[in-house]
Structure 1
């Protein structure tokens, strides 16, 4: 069986488990909280039973999500995650630039420092408001690593070895760093440290949220009820279906070696035009939407739709008089119009690195207040607190 088939089978089995009736789950709540439309604000269902720990009290609703400091966001990042963060941000939302995760693969220290600030600027330019939510740098809160060690003592090598992302990332490596193997435990610590009840993720991260649920249950059973059971929040497919401009079978990704496969939020207008002109299409000149038969052209229509709010039918109707080569220029114009205010705000923010650092420091202090309280509970429960 091919790797693709195995991957599909794995996702199918995972989703089957996720969507089982609550009565089949020991904890009484489904793994997957709900799917949401990408153009709608996130509105969590009140019937989610996320309280598993915290002394059987209902855990306060809290969102946690993290993003690696890969530099500047691309449109796949924005429409797949960040836009929803902006729509749902409040005082119970924590968004972390997870720099500890980034060093599981080789990093240039100078570039990493710059990328942390670039990511902060990108998030703020997209509408993350550090006064409404908590935006912080992961490594500024040492309890992430401390809780990760406790949780690593509760999991097993086979459990981690079955996670698909490790297999994918290590497939071409000869010397595999330990951090790459155990980073899902750190990811669980990121979530549980803040007693998060809702975690926005892509479908490729669902099994990692299952690990966080597993570790919360194991810890609570062994040491007492401290952690609530986090629920994965997967947005509707319209939020995450933006694909590579060069290969519509792959998602738009920063790791793609072909820079023309993605549009970054800071791309100059001329660069956006060039990338759209180089985007893959097919041998049919008409502008029609059919993801199954014409995935490349449909991907351009999705990009156009996401940037303008127009639906696919209207886009096809308005562009029925032109061919796909001309349509690429229409898409480029729409993308540039959408990116103009984000690009301007990003460049302004990047001129003042001290301002960005101060925002991350403030967010780190607020995050630390929550983390320290959780860590105090964990230390006491595990037996690490000794007093006279």
Structure 2
């Protein structure tokens, strides 16, 4: 079978401000993966427009997400950071993926049903084809690993299905190109990677709901743009219960707000929930929250400060994206050219 270089591809939509859930669930892991993999991190602005975006807000959000990547520790020399729309191969390969994917596969995608809601006839075709574009994002770089949350696992399975069907449909052409190498496939079947130390960070107002950009209450989340005072205020106001913290993890069962705050502390400190409870178990929430305020401010306020510094220089952010797009294009162009040859397109 074909062997592939260890390459990670991942991205976030520039639809609103990133928050603590994005940081603990993804960004901390992205930073760590730079030590072990070749990493390509994208601001997926083409995905963002599957639902209407105000153009000025979209441009601001693309730069803000880029600033968050850099402020969180993504090294622009080690890793590639770019916005999707600057590399036309994403759109070109997405159309080829559309033609490989089967309608039945797309109809099984649960996220379209959730996002489209009851008025499905009014949803954009882009929203329906979103998973096929996501497959193209990954396959365009022959990525071997993709960090995914629970809500994206189905899309990664679709990516694997599309890659496998392409490899099977064009097996003869691929074998001819790989003559003598022993390689039997063109696209790798990308593997999922766990997201981070706290893959599911819940709302500070309701421990049963995931922390979300779309929650109407700003007190439900800690935004990566929040300053130290705002972070402290949100932690202090976070919902808790009347009982003391348990000394063991099983004592968190049925206590979603307590479990969430302990998980956040563990994620920020890089320890287990059991270790947090061995330190704070038996104590009241007031003392634990005070420690969590100190930790959250120490970890997150510098990120917000660096984001503000970067956003004050939009030309610098645009240069990061432009340079990243050139580096991404250098990887994508020969892969896309091979795809076009394999399927029988005539190229210059």
Give the TM-score taking structure 1 as reference length: 0.80
Out of 174, 177, 187, the position equivalent to 1:227 is 187
The CA deviation at 1:60 is 1.3
CA distance in 2, matches of 1:117, 1:108: 14
* Residues 188, 212 of structure 1: 8 Å contact kept: yes
3-state DSSP of counterpart to 1:247: coil
* Residues 71, 114 of structure 1: 8 Å contact kept: no
The CA deviation at 1:386 is 4.9
Out of 218, 242, 245, the position equivalent to 2:201 is 242
* Residues 136, 361 of structure 1: 8 Å contact kept: yes
3-state DSSP of counterpart to 2:208: coil
1:368 corresponding residue in structure 2: 329
CA distance in 2, matches of 1:242, 1:211: 26
3-state DSSP of counterpart to 2:100: coil
CA distance in 2, matches of 1:62, 1:330: 38
CA distance in 2, matches of 1:309, 1:64: 24
| Alignment map for 1:81-120 (pairs within 5 Å) | 81-89=26-34, 92-120=38-66
* Residues 203, 221 of structure 2: 8 Å contact kept: yes
* Residues 72, 122 of structure 1: 8 Å contact kept: no
Q: Return closer, same or farther for 1:103/1:386 CA change in 2, 3 Å cut-off.
A: closer
2:8 corresponding residue in structure 1: 63
CA distance in 2, matches of 1:312, 1:150: 45
1:196 corresponding residue in structure 2: 143
| Alignment map for 1:280-291 (pairs within 5 Å) | 280-284=239-243, 286-288=244-246, 290-291=251-252
CA distance in 2, matches of 1:72, 1:216: 33
Instruction: Work out the number of aligned pairs and report it.
Output: 330
Out of 107, 122, 128, the position equivalent to 1:161 is 107
CA deviation digits over 1:161-199, x for unaligned, max 9?
111111111124451111110110000000000001111
Task: Decide which moves more: 168-177 or 192-201.
Answer: 168-177
3-state DSSP of counterpart to 2:135: helix
1:345 corresponding residue in structure 2: 306
Any stretches of 5+ residues in structure 1 without a counterpart? 1-55
Out of 284, 300, 303, the position equivalent to 1:323 is 284
The CA deviation at 1:313 is 4.6
Any stretches of 5+ residues in structure 2 without a counterpart? 175-184
CA distance in 2, matches of 1:220, 1:332: 52
